[in-house]
Amino acid sequence: TMVFDGRKLRVCAGAPGGTKIVTAILQVLVNVLDHEMSPVEAVSAPRVDFQGDVVQAEARIPRVVCEGLERLGYAVNRRTLNYDSYFARPQVIVAEHDGFLSGASDPRKDGGAAFETETK
């Protein structure tokens, strides 16, 4: 997934994880663009996933949040692991307005973020 600000690339993100990719990428983009998190913070943040039956929530999601979802009628499975590899594992590269590039890989599994720059 690539996000542009006009014609300038702002964020590039991708992930392995099957059907859980969409929610993981969305959460990373919201974390970077709306919450102004660094790439490391964005991919490391607690994760949720909803495939239509049960909301899956990492153990780091506060219990009160899960209880609130249940009061709204959602079934919630608060998982036992803090960094659960059940969820997709995104990598992200962010291009700052000054051209500085930074990236991160989800800590739930091995991986890395890399980019190539052209030297002149």
Mean pLDDT (the chain, rounded): 93
pTM of the model: 0.88
Calculate the alpha carbon distances from 17 to 33, 38, 53, 88, 90 in Å. Answer: 22, 22, 18, 4, 8
pLDDT at 106 over 70: yes
State residue 52's pLDDT score.
87
Distance separating alpha carbons of residues 96 and 40, to the nearest angstrom: 14
- List, as one string, the DSSP characters of 17-40: -GGGHHHHHHHHHIIIIIS---HH
**DSSP category for residue 60:** T
Would 4 be classed as within a structural domain?
yes
**Residues 96, 38 share a domain:** yes
Backbone φ, ψ for residue 7 (5° rounding)? -105, 0
Q: What is the pLDDT averaged over residues 106-120?
A: 78
State residue 110's pLDDT score.
83
- Minimum mean pLDDT among 34-38, 47-51, 97-101: which range? 97-101
Note whether 96 and 8 are within 8 A (CB). no
State residue 71's pLDDT score.
98
Would 37 be classed as within a structural domain?
yes
Task: Express each pLDDT in 55-100 by its tens digit.
Answer: 999 999 999 999 999 999 999 999 999 999 999 999 999 998 888 8
Give the number of domains in the chain: 2
**Residues 72, 42 share a domain:** no
Would 39 be classed as within a structural domain?
yes
